[in-house]
Structures are given as C-alpha cells and as structure tokens.
Copies of this chain bind each other. A is one copy, B any other.
Amino acid sequence: MTFVSKLRNRESLVGTWVALSDPAIAELSASLAFDAVVIDGEHSTNSLETITEMVRAVDAGSADREVGSIVRLSENDATEIKRVLDSGVSGVMAPMIDSADDARELVEATRYPPDGVRGVGYGRGTGYGEAFPEYLEHANDEIATIAQIETEAGFENVEEIAAVDGLDGLFVGPADLSAALDMFGETESDGFLAAVDRVLEAGHAVDKPVATLAFEEAEIERWVDCGFDFVLAGVDIDYIQAGATQAITMFEDALDGHGGV
C-alpha cells in the first residue's frame, strides 16, 4: 500500500525529517523502516535542484517504493508547489496555513484543472513525459496535502481548515504553535496540551490524520499517547548532534575509566 493510502487510512505512521542537503541522507532514511521521509524546503538551504535530488534518493532508497516522500514547502505558493510536484514527490506540507482559503489554495495548487491550477509539464513525476497519460489520470488523487497549524489564526480556524475538501491532514509544529500561542517551548504545559487536543479533534472529527514532530523518547511517547497518527520522530542534524555529543561523552568516560586525563 502506498504511503498516501496509509496516511488517508489513518494508520499509525512514523517518519524522519531531513534538513541537511546531502541526498545520501534521504536515501539512507528511506532504506530504514520509516513510512515517510520529510524533505525540508523551509528551514533548510535546499533549492529545488537539491530537493529533486532528494526525492529521487528517497525513491532509490525504498526498494518497494512504498516509503513516502513529503516536501515541506517554504510557503503555501502555487508556483513553488507546481515545481515541487514535478519532482515526483508523494505529498507536500505547507507552513503557516491560517484559514480554509489557504488550505483550499494548497489543495488546488496540487491539482490539474478543472480541480485546480497546476500546470502540465514534463518532469520527474511523469517519468519525464513517458508516463504522462497514466500520471495525469491519477495525480489529482494521489498527492498528499498536509497543512501546518502553527499560527494563531491557523489555530483559531483549525476546524474549518481540517474540513477543506481534498486536504489530507494537519501537522502541529510544536515550536511555532507554542510561540504563536505565547507559550514558547512549554510544550508539556496543560495549556499547550489543550491546544494540541483541539487540533487533534479537528482532524479526527473529519477522519483526517494529524502529524507532529518529536525529538526525544518522552516526546515521542507523549505525542503517541495524545493520539497523533503520524509522528516525525527526529531530524537528521539532531541525530548527528546527539550522536556526536554522546561520542564525546563515551570517549571521556573511557578516559576516566582508564585513569585518564
């Protein structure tokens, strides 16, 4: 089953987040047991050229082609979306969706007329034109769209956003949403958890999955327990920082054990 189908079925899904630019990371990530790999196009340096390499790397790394590739957009913009979709990505996630109109624009940007405004082009997604007719027949149904709820407006309008036809899911950005609700970083507070619940209910009321990002074991557990359908369970640069910091500690412990410095 494809990632998009699983997402729409609200299966429990786990993914990883790639913010660095080396496609090897995307490929390695796709070869592990993740359901999807998010390629960051907002808080990263990645150009469309790099993003396309990374989407290809996800496909190359996923032997059965069932690992989803999601590009987190730099903004909810139809031009950026048409170009990102040409890369053959499974879905897009748009930051700072404030309203049902924003969500509708997101959905329409991913669809060919008459459902939307996506332009037709030769791209990786169509097999460079080779798979054109098949691609065009299915593309409007097969691209996942996820709205990031991370502004005050988006939070206030979350039920209407969730209900937008064609929108596939919501994403809570804990850092931005907590900042927007004036409780930055207090992601374990009752206030923030209540906010999270509202987003979860907004999604689940219309049977749509809600996703989020977590960094540590306790956070992963908390979000799973809260009822998130899809958890991005870490970020590449953070894996490196954690692993490297631990390596230093292990070396220092070894030195100490050895009667070290």
Contact = CB atoms under 8 A, between A and B. Distances in A.
Nearest to A29: B244
Contacts of A157: none
A82 to B, nearest CB: 7
A113 B175 CA distance: 11
A255 B119 contact: no
Nearest to A251: B14
B16 A20 contact: no
B34 A45 contact: no
Contacts of A135: none
So how many copies of this chain end up in the complex? 6
Contacts of A236: 240, 244
Interface stretch (A162-170, A192-200, A203-211, A219-227): A219-227
A5 interface: no
Contacts of A44: 86, 123
Given A20-B22, A130-B28, A261-B11, A121 B43 contact: yes
Interface in A118-144: 119-124, 127-130, 133, 136
Contacts of A75: 79
A85 B223 CA distance: 30
A129 B221 contact: no
Contact of A247 (B14, B79, B252): B14
A241 B22 contact: no
A11 B255 CA distance: 11
23 contacts: A20-B24, A24-B128, A25-B240, A27-B128, A29-B244, A31-B128, A43-B83, A43-B123, A53-B53, A56-B57, A60-B60, A112-B184, A119-B176, A122-B235, A128-B241, A129-B235, A133-B185, A136-B184, A217-B254, A220-B254, A224-B257, A225-B257, A236-B240
